[in-house]
Amino acid sequence: MSRLATAPVVKLIMSVLSPAPDLIGQAVRVVSDLYGEADFVSALLPFDYTDYYAAEMGAPLYRRFVAFERLMPPETLPDVKRRTLEAEEQWTEGGRRRVNIDPGYLAEAHLILATGKGYAHRPYLRDGVYADLTLVYQRQAFRPLAWTYPDYGSPDVRALFEKIRAKYLLQRKETRL
């Protein structure tokens, strides 16, 4: 018989995307004000795997991945998604976003992104937010799935998340959470 238990805390991560690197810096400061100090901020990366956002945001696009020191309960992800959507509004011009902030979390076994779009592999959480199982940790590495976005499935991005995962596991060990 299984025993129900509280889920372990997880590490909040975000992707911040914009055609303007200075706006990415502003957005990282805003989300740090909301969620505490970032303990990982990637280099500025080109976002060239898709042109999905180009019509709305322009091109070329850039991205930073951010992870936060403070761990959080996984069930708070819908609240984070709503707050990041609200934060994006300050960089909206004429109905077009200039910044896209995509939150998610990293756990020991997987990486989950929050989305407002349901699909077969995206179970509903609450308040219009779905969980997108993006990467799974198997055989000592993050592995992409059939539906993983190409950028998240790339070796370089998976390596970033493996570094963040190592930090997360150390935090859990040190705090016994």
Model-level pTM? 0.94
Identify the bridge partners of residue 33 per DSSP, sorted by sequence position. Answer: none
Side-chain half-sphere of 9: how many Cα atoms within 13 Å? 16
Residue type present at position 137: Y
Q: How far apart, in whole angstroms, are the C-alpha atoms of residue 175 and residue 152? A: 29
Please indicate, yes or no, if residue 139 is contained in any of the structural domains: yes
Please indicate, yes or no, if residue 4 is contained in any of the structural domains: no
Rounded to an integer, the average pLDDT of 105-116 is 98
Rounded to an integer, the average pLDDT of 41-65 is 92
How many domains, the chain?
Answer: 1
Averaged pLDDT score across all residues of the chain: 95
pLDDT tens for each residue of 61-109: 999 999 999 999 999 999 999 999 999 999 999 889 999 999 999 999 9
> Does position 177 have pLDDT exceeding 70, yes or no?
no
Please indicate, yes or no, if residue 3 is contained in any of the structural domains: no
Please indicate, yes or no, if residue 121 is contained in any of the structural domains: yes
Helix 77-88 to helix 21-35 angle (10° resolution) is 140
Q: H/E element holding 177?
A: none
**CATH number of the domain that residue 148 is part of:** 3.30.70
What's the sign of the alpha-carbon dihedral 87, 50, 64, 81? positive
Please indicate, yes or no, if residue 2 is contained in any of the structural domains: no
> Does position 55 have pLDDT exceeding 90, yes or no?
no
Please indicate, yes or no, if residue 1 is contained in any of the structural domains: no
Residue 103: what pLDDT? 99
Domain range for 102 is 10-175
Please indicate, yes or no, if residue 103 is contained in any of the structural domains: yes
Band (pLDDT 50/70/90 cuts) for residue 155 is very high
Please indicate, yes or no, if residue 5 is contained in any of the structural domains: no
Q: How far apart, in whole angstroms, are the C-alpha atoms of residue 76 and residue 19? A: 29
- Measure Cα distances from 131 to 74, 116, 137, 163 in Å: 10, 9, 17, 22
Residue 50: what pLDDT? 86
